[in-house]
């Protein structure tokens, strides 16, 4: 789970690099990773509207992944079910794919919810 999280985190950092920095003071207090998530969730108004919306979604998703990774790595009493781990891996993969698309910073397809491939939301019955 850790490697998947770090892959998603670094891909998101690379996506974020050319943007006008957001505000990391709004949101939970934490280390460098939490500060970055806060920036994603609080994008600078100078960025395009679509980029700001995508940044907020990306920040929320990365926060979920970070919390799960932290639990798996540090909560010795926690049990991580196979399905939970698989869903996290799919979500991380989805984040990497979404932020590495050439038009990820300003296209409408970037705004679709970040849903892990193969999750119930991706199946025909869920549409």
What residues have CB less than 8 Å from 59, skipping those under 6 apart? 37, 38, 39, 40, 41, 42
Residue identified by tokens 């799919």 is 90
Phi-psi region of 27 (alpha: psi -120 to 50; beta: other; left: phi over 0): left
For 54-109, how does the pLDDT look when each residue is reduced to its tens digit (9 = 90+)?
Answer: 999 999 999 999 999 999 999 999 999 999 999 999 999 999 999 998 655 544 33
Under 8 Å between Cβ of 62 and 47: no
Owning domain of residue 15: 2-126
pTM confidence score: 0.77
For 79-92, how does the pLDDT look when each residue is reduced to its tens digit (9 = 90+)?
Answer: 999 999 999 999 99
Domain count, the chain: 1
What residues have CB less than 8 Å from 29, skipping those under 6 apart? none
- 22-32 burial, b at 16+ Cβ within 10 Å, e below that, comes to bebeebeeeee
């Amino acid at each position: 789970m850790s490697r998947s999280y770090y892959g998603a985190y670094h891909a998101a950092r690379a996506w974020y690099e050319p943007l006008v920095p957001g505000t990391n003071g709004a949101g939970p207090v934490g280390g460098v990773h939490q500060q970055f998530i806060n920036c994603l969730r609080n994008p600078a108004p100078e960025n395009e509207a679509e980029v700001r919306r995508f940044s907020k979604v990306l920040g929320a998703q990365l926060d979920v992944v970070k919390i799960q990774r932290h639990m798996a790595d540090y909560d010795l009493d926690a049990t991580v079910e196979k399905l939970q781990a698989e869903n996290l891996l799919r979500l991380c993969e989805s984040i990497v794919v979404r932020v590495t698309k050439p038009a990820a910073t300003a296209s409408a397809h970037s705004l679709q919810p970040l849903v892990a491939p193969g999750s119930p939301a991706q199946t025909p019955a869920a549409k």
